[in-house]
A = this chain, B = another copy of it.
Amino acid sequence: MNKLSSMRGAALAAFTLTVVTFAAAAACAQSLSDIKPPAEPLVLLSQGSFFVGGRTVDTEDAGWSNMEDLFGEPFEAGKVTVDQMYVQFQVPEAPSHPPIVFMHGGLLTSKQWETTPDGRMGWYEYFTRQGFPTYLAEQTGRGRSGFNGTIFNQVRRGKLSPDTQPNVYLGTSNMAWKVFRFGPELGKTNDGLQFPVNHVDEVYKQIIPDMIETQVPSLMAELVTPETNNPTVDNIAALAHDLGGAILVGHSQSAGFPTQAVLKNKGGIRGLIQLETGCFQSLTDEQVAALAEIPILVMVGDYLGPNPGASCAEEMDKIKSAGGDITFISLPELGIKGNSHMFMQEKNNLVIADLLVDWVNEHVDRENR
């Protein structure tokens, strides 16, 4: 595999989405009535939400020029906050593990880790029940973290030309079906697929516009370069520091964020979990040395062909040579078959969660005894 195709393979696997629709109908009754309450109550020491990071920028195009009637003044100019990261959390009654921070993939939000499309318990609640103070971080530019909207109003008003406006990435059904590896083409499922495809509409509802181009100049470069100016990476690095230690988990578009966060040198990162790739090809010796200090788990699902670890081989070799602790798990090679890119939502999602907990017990907790 040459470097370009390796990068592309890593980047492709490192991306996200979800869509399709053979039964698009308003499925609200179904999705609410599908909710399956757990057998035992959940007892929380605390729960809540807060923001990490954020900076203030000036705008002269806040979008209200047509609303002067409403407010009596135009409210066009002023300061707005951008690049903040919304974080929700819950702490179990008796924490038995370090805090764990989950970061969703492209086109998705932290909903990815909550109730599954077929109404079962997601990893947010499950890790809490396993004794982890559990944090869901929402990428800057997405969902409740917001984005910098000024440029859209500048284009609308002719201050900037339309081709300077960021792309708004939408996840179509055919794209999601293929990129999530539900099957070779829309409506055809891979053999033994664990994803509950009869609820695929519910995962399509999780897909929202991806505004990452308002944050970084090139998504492709972000996925394969260990250095980044993506504010989300600064924010999760700050979060791990401020928590006094945390395990960072990325998936797909964000799979490399935990590694990139280590290289910000803020400290506090006690473990890295990269779901569905996130490996880098061009790490410097200094970067390798930093990564060799922290236990790393890389995990991929099924349907990736004969050598799913190929794109991680170089990074793994370097880190191991430097005395690091990096584990690569291909689920089908463990005998766990049929998992797509979205295994945190699939029928055996808690079996896979247990593999992560086992890895934490062996590689993270052990270091701190």
A-side residues, CB < 8 A to B, are: 8, 11-12, 15, 19-21, 24, 26-29, 31-35, 37-38, 41-56, 59, 61-64, 66-67, 69-72, 75, 77-81, 84, 86, 88, 91, 93, 109-111, 114-115, 119, 121-122, 125, 143-147, 149-150, 152-153, 155-158, 162-163, 165-175, 179, 201-202, 204-209, 219-220, 235, 238-239, 242-243
A146 adjacent to B207 (CB under 8 Å): yes
Distance in angstroms between the alpha carbons of A5 and B187 in the assembled complex:
55
Question: With a CB–CB cut-off of 8 A, which chain B residues contact A81?
Answer: 19, 21, 24, 201, 204-205, 207
**Contact of A86 (CB < 8 Å), options: B111, B152, B156:** B111
A167 adjacent to B143 (CB under 8 Å): no
**Contact of A28 (CB < 8 Å), options: B12, B20, B52, B166:** B52
Distance in angstroms between the alpha carbons of A78 and B169 in the assembled complex:
13
16 A-B contact pairs sorted by A residue (CB < 8 Å): A12-B72, A24-B54, A26-B54, A27-B51, A32-B50, A32-B52, A32-B239, A35-B46, A75-B175, A79-B174, A86-B111, A88-B114, A152-B165, A153-B167, A156-B165, A158-B163
Distance in angstroms between the alpha carbons of A168 and B168 in the assembled complex:
13
**Majority-rule SS of A interface residues:** mixed
Distance in angstroms between the alpha carbons of A31 and B52 in the assembled complex:
7
Question: With a CB–CB cut-off of 8 A, which chain B residues contact A143?
Answer: 109, 143-144
Taking CB as reference atom, which chain B residue is nearest A158? B162
**A71–chain B nearest beta-carbon distance, Å:** 6
Question: With a CB–CB cut-off of 8 A, which chain B residues contact A152?
Answer: 152, 165, 168
Distance in angstroms between the alpha carbons of A41 and B41 in the assembled complex:
12
